[in-house]
Amino acid sequence: MQIGAFLACFDGWQLDDSLAFLSANGAEVVELSTFGGIVAVDYQLDDLVTSSARRDELAGRIADSGLRISSLSCHGNALHPQRATAESQIDLFRKTVLLASQLGVRTVVDFSGCPGDGPNATYPNWVTCAWPDDFPKILAWQWDEVIIPYWRETAQYCADHDVKVALEMHPGMAVFNPRNLMRLREAVSSPVIGANLDPSHLIWQQIDIVGAIRYLGDAIHHVHMKDCELRTHRLSEVGVIDTTPFSEWDQRGWLYRTLGHGRSPEFWKQFVTTLKEVGYTGPLSV
């Protein structure tokens, strides 16, 4: 495994400064984002896709810092019921996969996306209940008519470019837990589809992280190192399905945290050991 970080966390930094900081602090790899068509602060996605000179320049700056690119990330909702929003994300994702292939990067991180409740929906509908009966009907339509068809076609596109897609199991998206991830992987019948294991999203759902690693096994394509704190004095008020704005952090039942400020060092040791146990050898991206 290789220690690295997500460059998007260095908002406001110059590219060379952030790379120098990472290198000086023991990082080996860096994860780049393509949000908004911007890559690594100084580059436009469209320019990188069309210009080998620009790609060589970016790769050279990263290599000169002693790092290499571990993955590209373009989190979004390609299944959004508003067609313009969906098409924008689909275009971004496909260009990201193309750029990854051109750079020799083998993993792209994204969300599964979340459709609406039917063909005339305007906003995504994240179903979290098995009853009343409306909810299972929505789920059946989402999976059969939207989620599986889209990812079956998209998995083939990724395979054609020798790129794996690591889906972050994020609440608000159709794939938000390990079972849903494996359901999609099996429905699409492609090992191209796998997990971006970000434990922070699973911790507050009360998912056993070590058990999840063993359950997912070789379906883990990428790992984010992000912590989560359960705030018991607020859980009594809101539980874990908490819509309190993050700006009102003191009122929330859980919060994202820097490593070590949610779970103990012993947890993280077991986390990494279990990843090794299932054969994961990829990046640990902070």
Number of domains in the chain: 1
pLDDT at 251: 96
260 pLDDT above the threshold of 90: no
264 occurs within a structural domain: no
CA distance 71 to 168: 13
170 occurs within a structural domain: yes
For strand 283-285 and strand 220-224, is the pairing parallel, antiparallel, or unpaired?
A: parallel
Burial class (CB in 10 A: 0-12, 13-18, 19+), 276: exposed
How many Cβ atoms are within 10 Å of 249's Cβ, its own excluded?
11
Percentages helix, strand, coil for the chain (3-state, rounded to 5) are: 50, 15, 35
25 pLDDT above the threshold of 90: yes
pLDDT at 213: 98
Report how far apart, in Å, the C-alpha atoms of 105 and of each of 34, 36, 119, 158 are.
14, 20, 36, 12
280 occurs within a structural domain: no
Alpha-carbon torsion, ordered 7, 12, 16, 19, to 10 deg: -30
Instruction: Report the DSSP beta bridge partners of residue 72.
Output: 32, 108
83 pLDDT above the threshold of 90: yes
203 occurs within a structural domain: yes
2 occurs within a structural domain: no
145 occurs within a structural domain: yes
pLDDT tens string 146-173: 999 999 999 999 999 999 999 999 999 9
Dihedral class, residue 41 (left if φ above 0, else alpha if ψ from -120 to 50, else beta): left
pLDDT tens string 190-241: 999 999 999 999 999 999 999 999 999 999 999 999 999 999 999 999 999 9
What domain range is 203 assigned to? 74-227
Q: Which letter, b or e, does each residue of 207-240 get, where b requires 16 or more Cβ atoms within 10 Å of its Cβ?
A: bebeebbebbeebbbbbbbbbbbebeebeeeeee
What value does the mean pLDDT take over residues 51-70?
98
283 pLDDT above the threshold of 90: yes
Dihedral class, residue 84 (left if φ above 0, else alpha if ψ from -120 to 50, else beta): alpha
**CATH code at 105?**
3.20.20.150
pLDDT category of residue 278 using cuts at 50, 70 and 90:
very high
265 occurs within a structural domain: no
pLDDT category of residue 98 using cuts at 50, 70 and 90:
very high
246 occurs within a structural domain: no
How many Cβ atoms are within 10 Å of 146's Cβ, its own excluded?
21
